[in-house]
Structure 1
Amino acid sequence: MKGPIIDLVVSKLFKDMDLFGVSIVLPLISSHARELGASPTVTGVIGSLYGFLQFFSSPVVGRWSDISGRRYCLIWCLILSAGSYALLGIASSPFLMFISRIPGGIFKHSQTISKSLLTDIVPDNQLSRALGYFNAASSIGFILGPLIGGHIAETPGGFYKVALLAGAIFLLNSVIVWYSFSVLVFRTNFTLTMKERFETSPKINGYIISYTGTISALFGFTAGSVSNFYKNDAKLITHLAILQVITLLFLSYTFSLNLFILWLTPLSFGSTLLRVVSARLLFVRGKGKDVGTLMGFSQSNVSIARIISPFLSGLALEFSASGPSLIGALTTMIAIVVLVIRPQNPQFD
């Protein structure tokens, strides 16, 4: 029993640091691309490249983790992801930023492998609660990361410092894994939307993203209880999708920064629970077989949104600062229709 407990504790530590490394630099990429001369559409293309590569690499890396072991696969993914962020830090043009995202798009699967590891060591009847805690842990990284990244970004050469720091964190993560184990349209271009719509600074954006991270962390701990209360994950997913449509519509037509932040609260709540419940439904249906491969194909589906949403978000910003949230609401409505037409389990009513 000692081994699984150690794996679980260190996996939580790893996940905190992993999301911290991502969150310090991710909110700044769109703005930095614009500063280097990229249009909103080109900025969207840079963002879409990551999702495009993830679509193809996710099943391959997932299968790799099934065959070679989660820990071995995780170490190499972290090292190569660190290199990707280091290249991003020294990129001096939109084209070089585009190139720097290639290694990350191929090998940044640490979260997928971490979840696969979680299913290896946690019983099915405790999976919702465990996933909720892990999503809460990931939100802690998003609380601190944007704050620190936003402050550093406003210093001379700030983006380069932040990107290199992210690379160093991923490299450190690989060391932690080694010694301990032997361990999408609305949010895309979010900071660019905030800058275009409310003229916010990187520091203010950092505080806003940290606030949503705090909300996600708090609600992550309730995910297991909410799932057990519903006793029907498919119904819960549908209701959360409806909540997401409502909040995105309000966010589209809110022109007060304070009200905008207020409506981010239910959006963070709903998106946190959606991640937990959809992952649990996937694991239960997979019946514990080839979890890494299954997670990889699931990540490929998510990558479709990561391919389309940055480009679509950037294109929408050419016309309106409310465009991304309106598109997000529309696509969620389509998802609700699909869920109603094709229920996700026999108990759906």
Structure 2
Amino acid sequence: MNSQRCSTLFLKTRGRTRIIQCIYVVGFMDLFGVSMIIPLLSHHVKALGASPTVAGIVGSTYGILQLFSSTVVGSWSDVVGRQYSLLTCLLLSALGYGLLGMSTSIALFVLARIPVGLFKHSLSICRALLSDLVSESERPLVIGHFNAASSVGFILGPVVGGYLTEHEGGFYTSSFTCAAIFLINAGLVSMLPWSETPANRNDLNSSNHLSKGCPENHFSKSIHNGSHANNHHLVLRANTEPDCRADGKLRGGFRWTDMSLSQLVWRQLSSVGSKIHMVALSDMWDLFLVRLLMAVAIMLYYSNFSLAMEERFSLKPKVTGYLISYSSTLGALAGFLVGPVTQLYGNNMSALLFHSTVLTGSLIFLYATAPSVWQVLLTSTFFAVSTTIGRTCITDLELQRGGVQASGTLIGAGQSVTAVGRVLAPLLSGLTQEFSPCGPPSLGVVLALAAVGLLLIRIPRWDGRGMKKAAKL
């Protein structure tokens, strides 16, 4: 009997491994397609006849839509399931990029950015899906590999996009290619073995208890993320939430077809509102504030990098481009270091986040005061590593404290916070550049110090709550 159970669990583990590997491919192709388009957008909107002011307003449309839609779509993925929400986002993003390939006027350009701004959350849903599939100890490793795969796509995409634009109608070709990539991703996602994904936490826990009789079981680790959560843990109970499983079946035993369209929409909206409300009332403001401070600080580091290199060291744009590519490549490779580093810290993500924040702030300071290009090169080397590890740490801590049952909502809320940083960083960068080319990174140092001070105050409270909970168990 035990051998039969072990065989079944092994097949499930192999199916989930296949899903994880396919999600890595989806992440790579996603940013590969997007990065083909991003460098060309400003040139295209100006070619359509937009003034610099209009181009700036049009360019901000995407960020504003992302700001308001990230949390909603992430929460929606918790309600209807990852498969349905991920397919919807991929298909509607493909529609947006397809419209972009037909944009011959500013109005059509703005129209094309609307579905992308509202539904380009495929990477967030992928991260939430990965957190569903692995245990808490494995989560940083898996998400780190996913970030690395995505970063490789972001490095290669501009090269292909630049090559395509050298031909007549290159922007339109790049847009249609990007749309095709998203359609391919949707086809790949639809073919995944979704029956191997956890229908809910209770199913997983029961499976883990069954697996105790297996002598060699890779599925024995309980997927109980959020074990260090505080009293505001976002537990979403199966008997009160109408969450849907991957097969489209509601937890209460009903199917979507058993409900009218108005009832289905109302239940989904009420569930999304409930999850967002719980996140808003949770005691996680400190993590979100640290994310905001560091996001703005990092964006200030990059905001006027090319201009500062030219003014401070008389570097040509071509050389600066090589330096940026070097840093991006290291950032992609650093994703593979996340797992070993977290093991070195004994999965103490609070300590790792604190040290990475201190290192990031120190590197921004060294860059702002660098007397030579070689010091900039040195800081860029370690900066790529520290920011990659810090980004993974903050996401993992949000899931630990909030609970994986609301992983989509939490990751979406984190993306909304980052979107706020994207709105604030250009404004702050412009103001500080009035004083000095080193103004933006200098302000970034101040924000990083504020994040370090906040962590010094709050981390003892996080660890204290975790120890109390462990003592109760």
* TM-score (normalised: structure 2): 0.63
Alignment of 1:178-193 (within 5 A): 178-181=190-193, 184-185=295-296, 186-187=298-299, 193=305
Q: 1:192 and 1:29 mapped to 2: Cα distance?
A: 19
Q: Is the 8 A contact 1:145 1:210 kept in 2?
A: no
Alignment match, 2:24: 12
Q: Is the 8 A contact 1:33 1:43 kept in 2?
A: yes
Q: Deviation of residue 74 (structure 1)?
A: 0.7
Q: For residues 124 and 243 of structure 1, do their structure 2 counterparts lie closer, same or farther at Cα, with a shift above 3 Å needed?
A: same
Alignment match, 1:298: 414
Alignment of 1:87-166 (within 5 A): 87-91=99-103, 97-166=109-178
Q: Deviation of residue 50 (structure 1)?
A: 2.7
Q: For residues 191 and 332 of structure 1, do their structure 2 counterparts lie closer, same or farther at Cα, with a shift above 3 Å needed?
A: closer
Matched position secondary structure for 1:125: coil
Identity of aligned residues (%): 38
Q: 1:337 and 1:57 mapped to 2: Cα distance?
A: 31
Q: Is the 8 A contact 1:31 1:192 kept in 2?
A: no
- Does 2:393 align with 1:277? yes
Q: Deviation of residue 273 (structure 1)?
A: 0.3
Q: 1:144 is matched by which residue type in structure 2?
A: L
Q: For residues 250 and 159 of structure 1, do their structure 2 counterparts lie closer, same or farther at Cα, with a shift above 3 Å needed?
A: farther
Q: 2:335 aligns with which of 211, 215, 220?
A: 220
Q: Is the 8 A contact 1:48 1:306 kept in 2?
A: no
Structure 1 unaligned regions, length at least 5: none
Alignment match, 1:168: 180
Alignment match, 1:265: 381
Q: 2:86 is matched by which residue type in structure 1?
A: L
Alignment match, 1:52: 64
Q: 2:109 and 2:303 mapped to 1: Cα distance?
A: 17
Aligned length: 345
Q: For residues 322 and 256 of structure 1, do their structure 2 counterparts lie closer, same or farther at Cα, with a shift above 3 Å needed?
A: same
Alignment match, 2:458: 342
Q: 2:115 and 2:72 mapped to 1: Cα distance?
A: 14
Q: Deviation of residue 317 (structure 1)?
A: 5.9
Q: 1:229 and 1:13 mapped to 2: Cα distance?
A: 28
- Does 2:358 align with 1:245? no
* TM-score (normalised: structure 1): 0.83
Q: Deviation of residue 296 (structure 1)?
A: 2.0
Alignment of 1:204-219 (within 5 A): 205=321, 208-219=323-334
Q: 2:117 and 2:301 mapped to 1: Cα distance?
A: 17
Q: 1:126 and 1:318 mapped to 2: Cα distance?
A: 46
Q: Deviation of residue 115 (structure 1)?
A: 0.8
Q: 1:341 is matched by which residue type in structure 2?
A: I
Q: 1:293 and 1:193 mapped to 2: Cα distance?
A: 33
Q: For residues 296 and 267 of structure 1, do their structure 2 counterparts lie closer, same or farther at Cα, with a shift above 3 Å needed?
A: same
Q: For residues 300 and 191 of structure 1, do their structure 2 counterparts lie closer, same or farther at Cα, with a shift above 3 Å needed?
A: closer
Q: 1:81 and 1:289 mapped to 2: Cα distance?
A: 26
CA RMSD of aligned residues (A): 3.5
Query: What do the CA deviations read for 1:55-94 (whole angstroms, capped 9, x no partner)?
Result: 2212221222122211111111112222333444455677
**Which structure has the highest helix share of the two?**
1
Q: For residues 237 and 28 of structure 1, do their structure 2 counterparts lie closer, same or farther at Cα, with a shift above 3 Å needed?
A: farther
Q: Is the 8 A contact 2:301 2:441 kept in 1?
A: no
Q: 1:334 and 1:284 mapped to 2: Cα distance?
A: 23
Q: 1:247 is matched by which residue type in structure 2?
A: L
Q: Deviation of residue 193 (structure 1)?
A: 4.8
Q: Is the 8 A contact 1:143 1:209 kept in 2?
A: no
Q: Is the 8 A contact 1:43 1:314 kept in 2?
A: no
Alignment match, 1:72: 84
- Does 2:169 align with 1:177? no
Q: For residues 247 and 97 of structure 1, do their structure 2 counterparts lie closer, same or farther at Cα, with a shift above 3 Å needed?
A: farther
Q: Is the 8 A contact 1:248 1:329 kept in 2?
A: yes
Which has more radius of gyration? 2
Matched position secondary structure for 2:355: helix
Q: Deviation of residue 117 (structure 1)?
A: 0.5
Alignment match, 2:266: none
- Does 2:33 align with 1:21? yes
Q: 1:94 and 1:319 mapped to 2: Cα distance?
A: 35
Query: What do the CA deviations read for 1:247-296 (whole angstroms, capped 9, x no partner)?
Result: 22343455866654543221211111012111111222223222222222
Q: 1:256 and 1:299 mapped to 2: Cα distance?
A: 35
Q: Deviation of residue 187 (structure 1)?
A: 4.6
Q: Deviation of residue 108 (structure 1)?
A: 0.8
Q: 2:306 aligns with which of 194, 218, 238?
A: 194
Q: 1:200 is matched by which residue type in structure 2?
A: P
Q: For residues 301 and 265 of structure 1, do their structure 2 counterparts lie closer, same or farther at Cα, with a shift above 3 Å needed?
A: same
Query: What do the CA deviations read for 1:118-168 (whole angstroms, capped 9, x no partner)?
Result: 011101121121122212222221231233234444555544443343233
Q: 1:328 is matched by which residue type in structure 2?
A: G
Q: 1:243 is matched by which residue type in structure 2?
A: L
Q: For residues 339 and 92 of structure 1, do their structure 2 counterparts lie closer, same or farther at Cα, with a shift above 3 Å needed?
A: farther
Q: Deviation of residue 31 (structure 1)?
A: 5.7
